[in-house]
Amino acid sequence: MTRKADLSIMTDRKRKKVLLLMNMASGQGNGRRDLPSIIERLSVWGCEVTVYPIIPERGLISERIISEHKEGFDVIAVYGGDGSLNYVVNGLLQENLTIPIGYIPGGSTNDFARSFGDSISVYDCCRAIAYGEPFQYDIGVFNDNRYFNYVAAFGAFTKTSYETPQAVKNIFGYGAYALSAIGSLSESLSYRKHMIVRHDGETLEGNFIYGSISNSTSVGGMKFAFANDTSLNDGVFEVMLITSPDNPLDLASVVSSLTTGVIDRRFVKIFKTASIELECNEEFDWTLDGEAGGRCKKANIRVLPKAASMMVFNESSHN
């Protein structure tokens, strides 16, 4: 669709009211550069835009803004990374709101955004907000008090996403994660937790170096070859558990599994489920959509089918 065709639509409908939450610090700090063009595009394309910056140290957090301004908006949009989107979804579900989300990725990896299409440009994301349709997708519930869009994970390298300083992320982008991961290599490879995992009437027990419950084709910027059949709204999440390798050769086999999709079943377990429980004799850390998820001895995770909606643009329906 041409831009001229886009502009002609604005006169045919009532202005769409958009609440735009801006995380200026996310990604490489491009929010201030992108904000004027976002407002201009949305306004020209028939939207009435209300902007709030996300400044946690000043009390401007997504959950609070949504709670105070939940009436009268057609779309809740967010500019930021996957973590920023996580807070928006938590704000909406805590308020039992079904308002569609508009996502303009401004983070360093933007894993979840890539699940909705190949293009995550500001232009295309604004077009989805203005002219798109809501796409319902599954949400994860962590211990009945936190929600996540695409991944709950524990173990090796999972601290990298939320412990990497924002200034380093802004300079190096995704490379910041790689640098941090390399720096924590010895610590991460020595990580192992003895766990009991229960799902669908089955019980697994072992020493695990990593685990993820995900609803995305990639995690941490890496696209898994075995995630090609992943669906965002099939009512199940994909679970990956990696048992602790004992030597460098075993580690190489694990890495090969992740990148090629040829699973070494000695170390990598893959399955789908709508509900899972993981129990350990000591507390361990979790990350939810790249944000710190807290510590616990037992984690209960389940799917909320089609609990959130994302604005997406369908080319075929607008030709």
| Domain positions in the chain | 3-138+308-318, 147-304
- Helix, coil or strand: residue 135: strand
Point out which residues pair with 137 in neighbouring strands: 308
Confidence category of residue 245, pLDDT binned at 50, 70, 90: confident
Residue 135 clears pLDDT 90, i.e. is over it: yes
Distance, CA of 38 to CA of 88 (rounded, Å):
19
Distance, CA of 208 to CA of 242 (rounded, Å):
6
Model's pTM, two decimal places?
0.81
Confidence category of residue 133, pLDDT binned at 50, 70, 90: very high
Domain 147-304 of CATH type 3.40.50.1110: no
Looking at residue 220, what is its pLDDT?
Answer: 53
Residue 66 clears pLDDT 90, i.e. is over it: yes
Burial string for 180-197 (b: 16+ CB within 10 Å, else e) reads: bbeebeeebeebbbebeb
Positive or negative, the CA dihedral 259, 157, 274, 310 is negative
Residue 240 clears pLDDT 60, i.e. is over it: yes
Looking at residue 275, what is its pLDDT?
Answer: 97
Domain 3-138+308-318 of CATH type 3.40.50.10330: yes
Looking at residue 110, what is its pLDDT?
Answer: 67
Looking at residue 182, what is its pLDDT?
Answer: 36
Distance, CA of 129 to CA of 100 (rounded, Å):
9
Residue 179 clears pLDDT 70, i.e. is over it: no
Looking at residue 120, what is its pLDDT?
Answer: 81
Distance, CA of 18 to CA of 310 (rounded, Å):
13
Mean pLDDT to the nearest integer, 263-285: 88
- 163 or 220: which leads in pLDDT: 220
Mean pLDDT to the nearest integer, 177-205: 69
Residue 17 clears pLDDT 70, i.e. is over it: yes
- 81 or 175: which leads in pLDDT: 81
Positive or negative, the CA dihedral 31, 34, 40, 41 is negative
Query: At residue 162, what are phi and psi to the nearest 5 degrees?
Result: -105, -5
Mean pLDDT to the nearest integer, 273-281: 96
Q: Given the structure tokens 């933007």, which residue do they identify? A: 110
Indicate left, alpha or beta for 155 from its phi (over 0: left) and psi (-120 to 50: alpha).
left
Identify whether the C-beta of residue 33 lies closer than 8 Å to the C-beta of residue 58: no
Angle at 91 between CA 87 and CA 97, to 5 degrees: 140
- 106 or 140: which leads in pLDDT: 140
Identify whether the C-beta of residue 169 lies closer than 8 Å to the C-beta of residue 108: yes
Chain-wide mean pLDDT for the chain? 80
Confidence category of residue 261, pLDDT binned at 50, 70, 90: low
